[in-house]
C-alpha cells in the first residue's frame, strides 16, 4: 500500500504519559485541517459545547473553561490502519 504524506494543521494536547498527542480523531486517525483558522474554529466549537453544558448544569465551571488543546503544523503518514504524525517546527 502506497503511503502518502499529508500536511496541515492538527489539534493536540499535552498528555501526562505520551507527550503531545492528537486530540481530534476520525475513523482513520488524527484529523488534519487545511488551514490554521479551520483548526482554531474546531477548538472554539468544542469550547462552546462545553460552555453550554456548564450553563445547563451538566458540567462544572473549571472543566467548561479549561483550554488544553492547541494547533500545530503537522505532517501525517497513514497506512495499514496506523499513522505517524510529526509536528513540524516553524522557523
pLDDT in tens, 4-60: 788 899 999 998 887 888 999 988 788 999 999 999 999 999 999 999 999 999 999
Pick the residue with more confidence: 82 or 28?
Answer: 28
Task: Give 33's DSSP letter.
Answer: B
Handedness of CA 9, 10, 13, 16 (dihedral sign): negative
Identify the pLDDT of residue 83: 64
Pick the residue with more confidence: 36 or 90?
Answer: 36
**Number of structural domains, the chain?**
1
Q: The pTM is what?
A: 0.80
Identify the pLDDT of residue 84: 62
Note down the domain range covering 18. 5-87
Q: Is a pLDDT exceeding 70 seen at residue 87?
A: no
| C-alpha cell recorded at residue 20 | 503531545
| Among 71, 87, 82, residue whose Cα is nearest residue 33 | 71
CB 65 within 8 A of CB 49: no
Which residue do the cell numbers 494536547 mark?
13
Amino acid at each position: 500500500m502506497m503511503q502518502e504524506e499529508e500536511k496541515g494543521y492538527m489539534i493536540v494536547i499535552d498528555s501526562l504519559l505520551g507527550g503531545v498527542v492528537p486530540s481530534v480523531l476520525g475513523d482513520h486517525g488524527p484529523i488534519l485541517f487545511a488551514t490554521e483558522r479551520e483548526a482554531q474554529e474546531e477548538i472554539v466549537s468544542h469550547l462552546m459545547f462545553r460552555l453550554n453544558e456548564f450553563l445547563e448544569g451538566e458540567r462544572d465551571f473549571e472543566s467548561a473553561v479549561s483550554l488544553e488543546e492547541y494547533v500545530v503544523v503537522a505532517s501525517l503518514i497513514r497506512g495499514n490502519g496506523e499513522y505517524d504524525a510529526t509536528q513540524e517546527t516553524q522557523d
